[in-house]
Amino acid sequence: MGTILEIQHVSKFFGGLAANSDVSFSLEEGMIMGLIGPNGAGKTTLFNCITGYYPPSRGDVIFKGQKINGLEPDRVCRLGMVRTWQKVRPLAKLSVVDNVMVGALCRTNSLKTARELAMEQLKVVRLDNKPNFLAGGLPIGERKKLEVARALATQPQLLLLDEVMGGLNPAESDEIIQLILDIKKRGGITQMVIEHDMKAIMRISDRIVVINSGEKLAEGTPQEIVNNPEVVRAYLGDFHA
Partner 1 sequence: MKLTFALIRTSAGTSPVATALGVAILVGLFLFPNFVQSPYALHIMILFFLSTIQGEAWNIIGGYTGQYSVGHAAYFGAGAYTTMVLMQYKQIPPWYGMLAGIGIALVVSLIIGSICFRLRGPYFVLASIAVAEIMRLSAMNLKDLTNGAEGILITEIPVFKIGETVVTDFLSKVPFYYIGLVIALLTILVTWMVQNSKLGYYFQAIREDQDAAHSLGISLSIYKNIALAISAVFTSLSGSFYAIYIGFIDPPTVLALDISVQIVLICIIGGIGTIWGPVIGALVLVPLSEALRSNLIAQMIFKTGLTSEESGLGIFLKEHLAHAHALIYGILVVVVILFMPDGVLGWIKKLTAKKGRG
Q: Which parts of this chain interact with partner 1 (CB under 8 A)?
A: 51, 53, 72-75, 77-78, 82-83, 85, 89-94, 98, 101-103, 105-106, 109, 111, 114, 150-151, 154
In angstroms, what is the minimal distance from the CB of 106 to partner 1? Answer: 4
Task: Please tell me the distance from the alpha carbon of residue 82 to that of residue 103, in angstroms, as a whole number.
Answer: 10
Q: Which of 214, 228, 165 is nearest to 193 (CA)?
A: 165
Q: With respect to partner 1, which residue has the nearer C-beta, 75 or 199? A: 75
Q: How far is CA 187 from CA 1, 63, 235, in A?
A: 12, 18, 33
Q: With respect to partner 1, which residue has the nearer C-beta, 115 or 216? A: 115
Phi-psi group of 55: left, alpha or beta (phi > 0 → left; psi -120 to 50 → alpha; rest → beta): beta
Task: Please tell me the distance from the alpha carbon of residue 225 to that of residue 204, in angstroms, as a whole number.
Answer: 14
In angstroms, what is the minimal distance from the CB of 215 to partner 1? Answer: 26
In angstroms, what is the minimal distance from the CB of 98 to partner 1? Answer: 7
Q: With respect to partner 1, which residue has the nearer C-beta, 103 or 214? A: 103
Q: With respect to partner 1, which residue has the nearer C-beta, 162 or 195? A: 162
Contact 38, 195 (CB under 8 A): no
Q: With respect to partner 1, which residue has the nearer C-beta, 105 or 200? A: 105
Q: With respect to partner 1, which residue has the nearer C-beta, 112 or 185? A: 112
In angstroms, what is the minimal distance from the CB of 221 to partner 1? Answer: 30
Angle, alpha carbons 54-153-85 (nearest 5°): 35
Q: Which of 82, 117, 77, 124 is nearest to 97 (CA)?
A: 117
Type of residue numbered 49: C
Contact 11, 40 (CB under 8 A): no
In angstroms, what is the minimal distance from the CB of 213 to partner 1? Answer: 26
In angstroms, what is the minimal distance from the CB of 80 to partner 1? Answer: 10
Pairing type for strands 58-63 and 207-212 reads: unpaired
Q: With respect to partner 1, which residue has the nearer C-beta, 72 or 230? A: 72
Rg (CA), the chain: 18
In angstroms, what is the minimal distance from the CB of 17 to partner 1? Answer: 22
